[in-house]
Amino acid sequence: MASAHGVGDPLVLGIETSCDETGVALVRGDELLVDAVASSMEEHARYGGIIPEVASRAHLEQMVPTITRALGEADVDLSEVDAIAVTAGPGLVGPLTIGASAAKALAIGLNKPLYGVNHVIGHAAVNQLVDGPFEGRTMALVVSGGHSSLMLVDDVATGVTELGSTLDDAAGEAFDKVGRLLGLPYPGGPHVDRLAREGDPEAIRFPRGLTAAKDQAKHAYDFSFSGLKTAVARWIEACVDAGREVPAADVAASFAAAVADVLTAKTIAACRRHDVETLVVGGGFSANSQLREMAAKRCAEAGIDLRIPPIRYCTDNGAMIAALGSAVVRAGAAPSSFDFPVDSSMPMTTITV
């Protein structure tokens, strides 16, 4: 990956532990030197969901080995690091605390500045490592298991405005729940996506949340997937009660189409309203094939440049935190204090704590 910056840029170590991935990365300017990830997903699969205590213990066990691996792969000594960035929120309190504690210990031990940064904004910032710096005002749609946020980005380090978010279930969360309804393994998202490719997206007309005329004034850019999930559950229940076989592929395809339709329609509308020509899509759910296809089609029709990073940068990783940390350091932001608290529901108005 080419860097738009020179060797004089600060070397930033990024640490991500908001959920079940222990991510450690090194970034200089907009150049990613290494991205090391250790996941505890398999440990959660048998429970059918993320267990915070299990995730926290996994972070404790993986933190030092993952940092050591990242430094080794980049051939960098810890003393060469100029600043440390860590996820301060949003996320699960236990895992966030493990990462923040490790970052604080490193910053104090190395006498380096520490930056507690926003996980969701990191999902947008990581795109700069792939496609280069954002040119002017950019729209960012971040969709994952826990977040569905639409943000107007004037500067990823200093100027982010949240236009809308989910009022209930996030897109990825809804996929996991529908996966459970269809008897698919956890996490449901990838399995529903695969199954949806075999079905007819127009077979069942599921509802599009917050798209009615009455919702436009107050919730033009907000999302709601709880009603959609309930509609799928009732449809399956009615099918079973009638003694019919559930057409799982059609259900998955029609459900996925409803989610992608709402996400892309509201996002394109926001781009037009705010005269934005570049859209960045990030977060674990941006790996969804129907979302990618519909976003590509609708952006092409609207003349909007679509930037979606490779799937490895969509799921939680250290690169996104190091990328945001690098942008924040270069923007001259004041470092965080060593006693900053983690914030499980950190607002998008907070880029750095």
Q: What angle do CA 166, 171, 174 make, to 5 degrees?
A: 110
| Helix (H) / strand (E) containing 15 | strand 11-16
What is the structure's pLDDT at 186?
Answer: 85
Q: Which token pair is 167?
A: 């009022």
What is the structure's pLDDT at 44?
Answer: 62
| Residue for token pair 């993952």 | 66
pLDDT per residue of the chain (353 residues) written in tens, 0 to 9: 334 445 689 999 999 999 989 999 999 999 999 999 998 667 767 777 778 888 899 999 999 999 999 999 999 999 999 999 999 999 999 999 999 999 999 999 999 999 999 999 999 999 999 999 998 999 999 998 788 999 999 999 999 999 999 999 999 899 999 999 999 998 888 999 999 999 999 999 999 999 999 998 899 999 999 999 999 999 999 999 999 999 999 999 999 999 999 999 999 999 999 999 999 999 989 999 999 999 999 999 999 999 999 999 999 999 999 999 999 999 999 999 999 999 999 999 999 99
Same fold, 11-126+317-330 and 138-312: yes
Tallying the residues shown for the chain, one arrives at 353
| Helix (H) / strand (E) containing 139 | strand 138-143
Spatial distance between the Cα atoms of 191 and 175, rounded to a whole number of angstroms: 9
Neighbouring residues of 315: CB distance < 8 A, sequence distance ≥ 6: 21, 284, 287
Domain ranges across the chain: 11-126+317-330, 138-312
What is the structure's pLDDT at 3?
Answer: 41
- Burial status of residue 241 (CB atoms within 10 A of its CB: 0-12, 13-18, 19 or more): exposed
pTM comes to 0.94
Spatial distance between the Cα atoms of 89 and 252, rounded to a whole number of angstroms: 32
Q: DSSP letter for 166, please.
A: B
Three-class DSSP category at 141: strand
Classified by CATH at the fold level, domain 138-312 comes out as Nucleotidyltransferase; domain 5 (3.30.420)
What is the structure's pLDDT at 43?
Answer: 74
Classified by CATH at the fold level, domain 11-126+317-330 comes out as Nucleotidyltransferase; domain 5 (3.30.420)
